[in-house]
Amino acid sequence: MTGAAPAGRLAGKIALVTGASRGIGAATARALAAAGAHVILVARTTRDLEVVEQAIFDAGGSATIAPCDLTEPDAIPRLASAITSRWSALDVLVINAAVLPVLTPVWQIEPRDLNRGLLLNVAATQALIASFHAALRKSSGARVIGVTSSVGAAPRAYWGAYGASKAAFDNLLTAYAQEVAAISPIRVALVDPGATRTAMRARAYPGEDPASVKPPETVAARIAALAGEDFASPYRERIDAALNKS
């Protein structure tokens, strides 16, 4: 479903957001649409994507849902084929979908749980870059924005599985930024949202008052702004705790 896209700094741009059915992903999709982009919403659950799409449409924006389980074999190449058959260039790629493995000591990590985290947080990231690189190259100034975590750069007890996956995530995106810097206008940014009111945060900190941390819209606004900015690549930014407002 689409509506008349509002005029804005991203008017005419095509953006894809993974994990777009809730939390930071959904808020980012709405923010990008509000800035004028046509947003492709990617997540597993069709019904949840339709809710986000309708919210974008109701606000006068434009979106397309693309239900997809990024961990399924060949799912990402099929997604890219479907999208690039309709749009030749991709201007914004927001890699937000992630899974939080069980928080536990390293010696108690279940291999199946670790593999699940590595599959979505790392392998799917590489597959997204591989599958959409050509479309990003066709944009006049593509932006790839990865939503990361501080535990990827600063290990924390009990967070080893998730931290390891995010360290690899950061490494992949930083290497990609260096590889394309001299041959294309693609710019790559890593955004660490910090403490944010999401379902993942609630699972990690079950006793925390959700109102004590910032809403996902705060992070989404900054991601949408980055999508229209120029910056030295690779670029990394943490959304400061001073912005925590309900």
Does the pLDDT at position 3 exceed 90? no
Of 158, 162, 176, 235, the active-site residue reads: 162
3 belongs to a structural domain: no
**Token pair listed for 204:** 């990690």
204 belongs to a structural domain: yes
Catalytic: 162?
yes
Q: Give residue 241's pLDDT band: very low, low, confident or very high (50, 70, 90).
A: low
CATH number of the domain encompassing residue 174: 3.40.50.720
> pTM of the predicted model, to two decimals?
0.94
7 belongs to a structural domain: no
For residues 177-195, one letter each, b for 16 or more C-beta atoms within 10 angstroms of the residue's C-beta and e for the rest, the string is beebeeeeebbbbbbbbbe
Does the pLDDT at position 4 exceed 90? no
Q: What percentage of the chain carries pLDDT values higher than 70?
A: 95
Cβ-based neighbours of 8, under 8 Å, separated by 6 or more: 34, 35, 36, 37
8 belongs to a structural domain: no
31 belongs to a structural domain: yes
| Domain span including residue 201 | 14-243
| 161 touches 210 (CB < 8 A) | no
207 belongs to a structural domain: yes
In the chain, how many domains are there? 1
Kindly report, residue by residue over 152-207, the tens digit of the pLDDT.
Answer: 999 999 999 999 999 999 999 999 999 999 999 999 999 999 999 999 999 999 99
- Can you tell me the distance from the alpha carbon of 41 to that of 63, in angstroms, rounded to the nearest whole number? 7
210 belongs to a structural domain: yes
